[in-house]
Amino acid sequence: MDSLIKLFFCLSVYLLIGEISRVEGSDKNQRMYGFRPTKLFVFGDSYADTGNIKKSLSSSWKFPYGITFPGKPAGRFSDGRVSTDFLAKFVGIKSPIPYFWKDYAGKKRLQYGMNFAYGGTGVFNTQVPLPNMTTQIDFFQNILTAGDIYSSSDFTSSVALVSVAGNDYSTFIAQNRPASDFPAFIKQVVDQTEVNLRRIHALGVKKIAIPSLQPLGCIPGITVASSFQRCNESQNDLVKLHNNLLQQVVTKLNNETRQSTFIIIDLYNAFLTVFKNKGASPGSTTFESPLKPCCVGVSSEYFCGSVDEKGVKKYVICDNPKSAFFWDGSHPTEEGWRSVYSVLRESLTASFIKA
C-alpha cells in the first residue's frame, strides 16, 4: 500500500498543481431519445470545465491550450473541446456557457444551460481554493431561486453532467493520510457524490449523467515511470473500488425513482477500449502511443504551458495533437475525447432512450 501512496502522490502533482499553476446537434440526434434534451447543466472539475477559472490563475488560459479549438487559450484543459462539449453535441445542443461568464452572455446563449465546473476541484475541498461541488450546486440553486434566467418548466428536458475525475484522491495523498484509510475515504467520496446527485435531482433535473472514474493508473503522470508503456494496475484497482461503489449508488437511486434518471458514463472502459483500439472500433482514432502526452515540460519541474521568469517556454508539443490521446499530464486531447465519445455512443443512446 505504501507504493500506492507514492503513485498517487505523483497523481496529485498532475491533477492539482498542474491544473492551476500553469455544436450544435441535428433533429436526427434529438429523435434518438425518450425525451428531447434542451439544456445541459454541468458540475465538476477540469474534465468538464470550459472556462470558469480566472485567466490569471489557470494554465488553461495559457498557450498552447486551445490551439485546436478555438485556436487560442479559452479556459479548457485540453488543446480543444472537452467532455462537456461532446456530451452537449451528443444530446443536440450547444455547449453551455460557463457560470463565470453568465453576466456577459445574452439570453439566447443561456438557453442551453450552464457549466459550473471548476478545474482542480472535487466533491470535497482540494488544494485548489475554488468552489467544490457542493458550492457549485449552491450557485445552481441560487440561480433557480432568483428565477430570472430559468423556470421550473425548463427542467423537464434538462440533463446534468456530474464529473468526479480524482482530485479528492490527489488531495488525500498530498495530506499524507494513512494508506489504510484509503478505502474508507473512497466510500466517503462516493457517499458525498450520492448526496450531490440527490440534490441536483431534487432541484428538477430530468436526467443526470455521472462518468465513472477514468483509469488513473493510465494517465501520463503515472505511466511516465514506464516510459508511457504500461498502466499501473494496482492504482486502477483502487479506481475500480470507486466505480463499483458508484454503480451501487446509481442502481439504488434508479430503484428509488423507478425511472432511469441516473446514467453512468463508463469512462473507465471507454478509455481502455480506445487505448487498445487497433482499428476495430469504428469512428475511434487508433493512437500509436496512447499513454504518451502531446504537451510536456522540458523537465520534471515544468508542465505544459510553463515559461521561465524571462518568458521562455519550457515545454514541447507533438507535431500533431490529433495523433495523441492525452494532451498533458492528465487530460485528453480533443481527439482523445472524440474517440471516447465514439466508443460511448451506443451505450449513451440506449441510456437516453430509457424513460
Neighbours of 43 (CB within 10 A): 31
Closest CA relative to residue 341, chosen from 330, 349, 352: 349
- Determine what percent of the chain falls in helix, strand and coil, rounding each to the nearest 5: 45, 10, 45
The residue among 126, 94, 89, 86 whose CA lies nearest residue 111 is 94
Catalytic residue IDs: 46, 328, 331
DSSP element (H, E) containing 221: helix 220-223
Compute the chain's Rg from CA coordinates. Answer: 19
Task: Name the CA dihedral angle for 193, 199, 205, 210, rounded to a multiple of 10 degrees.
Answer: 0
The grid coordinates listed for 37 are 434534451
Query: At a CB cut-off of 8 Å and minimum separation 6, what does 249 contact?
Result: 190, 193, 194, 197
Residue found by looking up cell 491550450 in the block: 65
Q: Which residues of 81-97 are buried (b: 16+ CB within 10 A; e: fewer)?
A: bbbbbbbbbbbbbbbbb
Q: Which three cell numbers stand for residue 272?
A: 481502455
Q: CA of 76: how far to CAs of 47, 81, 197, in Å? A: 8, 7, 24
What DSSP letter does each residue of 282-315 carry, written as one string? Answer: TT----SSTTSBSEEESSTT--TT-B-TT--B-E
Would residue 200 be called left, alpha or beta, if left means φ above 0 and alpha means ψ between -120 and 50 degrees? alpha
